[in-house]
Amino acid sequence: MGWKFKVKVMEYGRTKVIACATVIEEMLPLMPPDLAYEVLDFGLHLVPGSLKTRLQEAIDAACNAAYDTIILGYGLCSMAVVGLETRSCTVVIPRVDDCIACFLGSREAYTTQNKKEPGTYYLTKGWIEVSDTLLDEYNRSVVKYGEERAERIMRIMLQNYKRLVYIDTGTDNQEYYRKYARNVAKKFNLRFEEVKGSDDLIYRTLYGPWNEDFVVAQPGQKIQYTDFKTDATTTSNLNIFSMTPPQRKERDE
């Protein structure tokens, strides 16, 4: 299973990807081999202010290194991207609340899942790889507080959750990650479901076109909350992206 494509020779030396550790797992199979990228610690999500600071540092460093386009593998992410200044670079961000929409393929797909069951916990290969699952949280709580208190903490955390959804993103070794997700659901008495993910939004994040599904902030701009909640976006550079997308075949079933 997976997308099959050939990567052409491209000119993209002034573009850099800055992404969360979970999102980069889905980006790497689609990226040209020499595209510059930087991976930020997933733990930064726990303190949005720290994530904002680290993102600004990464943007500043990329601009100082003469990159002119920065692709962020993030969404709104608890407002962490709001207030970021683009400096001398153009910054592109998927117009989504968080990375779940990226794994499902669109903001609309995420909305559909939320309407189906608001109390849903999501898992993908990336979250499992970075040890950010309910089971990991439980195990850390056991070490810190003991088993009895850890059980109480998890019951409180999950009191409004009914379902665990594993998103099959089509990457390698899905059976291992699927089994892991099933075990997490069983451990915490959540109904297990699996949905087919899509790399469409991640693909377009890398290669365009950057249409209304993206926030495109020009050099010198500051990213605003309203950028994610309205149809307004800066689109004057949509046709000058320097990367040529790879040729793709139909996805294997």
Measured between alpha carbons, how far is residue 25 from residues 102, 103, 162, 167, 232 in Å? 12, 11, 27, 13, 30
Asked if 30 and 85 sit in the same domain, the reply is yes
Asked if 140 and 170 sit in the same domain, the reply is yes
* Chain segment 170-225, per-residue pLDDT in tens: 877 889 999 999 999 999 999 999 999 999 999 999 999 999 999 999 999 999 99
Q: Residue 239 falls within a domain, yes or no?
A: no
Asked if 61 and 21 sit in the same domain, the reply is yes
Q: Residue 240 falls within a domain, yes or no?
A: no
For 35, list phi and psi in degrees, rounded to 5: -70, 125
Q: Looking at residues 134-143, what average pLDDT do you find?
A: 91
Quickly state the pLDDT bin for 248 (edges 50, 70, 90): low
Given a cut of 60, is residue 234 above it in pLDDT?
no
Q: Residue 253 falls within a domain, yes or no?
A: no
* Chain segment 34-54, per-residue pLDDT in tens: 899 999 988 777 777 899 999
Asked if 12 and 72 sit in the same domain, the reply is yes
Residue 222's pLDDT is what? 96
Asked if 114 and 83 sit in the same domain, the reply is no
Number of independent structural domains in the chain: 2
Asked if 9 and 93 sit in the same domain, the reply is yes
Asked if 121 and 51 sit in the same domain, the reply is no
* Chain segment 102-121, per-residue pLDDT in tens: 999 999 999 999 899 989 99
Are 208 and 238 in contact by the 8 Å Cβ rule? The answer is yes
Residue 249's pLDDT is what? 47
Asked if 163 and 83 sit in the same domain, the reply is no
Return the exposure string of 132-171: e unless at least 16 CB atoms fall within 10 Å of the residue's CB, then b. Answer: bbbbeebeebbeeeeeeebeebbeeebeebebbbbbbbbb
Given a cut of 70, is residue 242 above it in pLDDT?
no
Asked if 153 and 77 sit in the same domain, the reply is no
* Chain segment 27-37, per-residue pLDDT in tens: 999 998 889 99
Asked if 148 and 88 sit in the same domain, the reply is no
Burial class (CB in 10 A: 0-12, 13-18, 19+), 115: exposed
Q: Looking at residues 92-108, what average pLDDT do you find?
A: 93
Q: Looking at residues 139-145, what average pLDDT do you find?
A: 92
Q: How many CB atoms lie within 10 A of CB 108?
A: 11
Q: Residue 83 falls within a domain, yes or no?
A: yes
Residue 220's pLDDT is what? 94
Asked if 20 and 52 sit in the same domain, the reply is yes
Quickly state the pLDDT bin for 230 (edges 50, 70, 90): low
List, in order, residues 6 or more apart from 184 with CB less than 8 Å away. 123, 133, 134, 135, 164, 190
- Residue 118 CA neighbour count, 13 Å, CB half: 2
Residues of the domain holding 83: 5-98+200-233
Asked if 114 and 191 sit in the same domain, the reply is yes
